[in-house]
Structure 1
Amino acid sequence: MAKRENDSFSIKDLLGSYIKEGGLNKGFQKIHIEEAWEKMMGPGVVSYTQEVEIQNKTLIVRLSSSALREQLSYGKEKIIRMINEEMGEELVKKLMLV
């Protein structure tokens, strides 16, 4: 019978390495960034949100309300900081509201 190794790994660590090695980071970041936006902004803002995507450290949010776009533009730095805290890394450096 083969000798059994006693090395134990958490599921989180195993999935993390699988995602990293498989090149799946971008897909998971997209899902997590959308979830973070919904969690932080609440149902009022989310109802006017058409799309949330990240490209080259720029978070692009498409909104159907120009008034909301203008209002959110005053707090861009705070939104970036909150998203990065929620994601656990500095993923966003710029926010574009379109």
Structure 2
Amino acid sequence: MAKRFNEEQSIQDVLKNFISHNKLQGGIDKIEVKEVWFSLMGNGVANYTEEVELRKETLYVKLTSSVLREELMFGREKIIKMINQEIGKEVVKTLVLR
């Protein structure tokens, strides 16, 4: 039978240790950024979004509308700030719209 230790930890601490020990934070960030993109941009932009991919600190977004792409280019810095603020840490430093 397994031996139990009386060292109590919260589930949050256990999950943080598990994530950092297994180096899963990068994958979690990728999924979280994709979810935040669709929630912040709304249905209008989501309909024209084909692909959202985070590589290192650069977010690549593939859009089907060139007009929308040009419109979003003007607010690139604001979009980056909104995404990082929603996640709670600086994950995205550059936004590339294709």
By the TM > 0.5 criterion, same fold? yes
Alignment of 1:29-48 (within 5 A): 29-48=29-48
* Alpha-carbon separation, structure 2, partners of 1:40 and 1:52: 13
User: What is the identity, as a one-letter code, of the residue corresponding to 2:23?
Assistant: G
Report what 2:87 is aligned to.
87
Deviating 4+ runs (over 6 angstroms): none
* Alpha-carbon separation, structure 2, partners of 1:8 and 1:86: 31
Report what 1:68 is aligned to.
68
- The share of aligned pairs that are identical, in percent, is 47
3-state SS, counterpart of residue 90 of structure 2: coil
3-state SS, counterpart of residue 89 of structure 1: coil
| Number of positions where the alignment pairs a residue of Structure 1 with one of Structure 2 | 96
Report what 1:27 is aligned to.
27
- Gapped regions of structure 2 (runs ≥ 5): none
* Alpha-carbon separation, structure 2, partners of 1:95 and 1:80: 7
* Alpha-carbon separation, structure 1, partners of 2:4 and 2:17: 25
User: What is the identity, as a one-letter code, of the residue corresponding to 1:57?
Assistant: E
Report what 2:56 is aligned to.
56
Provide Cα deviations, 1:21-77, integer angstroms capped at 9, x if missing partner: 111112111110111101100111011111111112111111111111001001000
**Which 10-residue stretch deviates more, 61-70 or 12-21?**
12-21
Matching of residue 15 in structure 1 with residue 15 in structure 2:
yes
Over aligned residue pairs, what C-alpha RMSD do you find? Answer: 1.5
User: What is the identity, as a one-letter code, of the residue corresponding to 1:36?
Assistant: V
- TM-score scaled by structure 1? 0.90
- Gapped regions of structure 1 (runs ≥ 5): none
- TM-score scaled by structure 2? 0.90
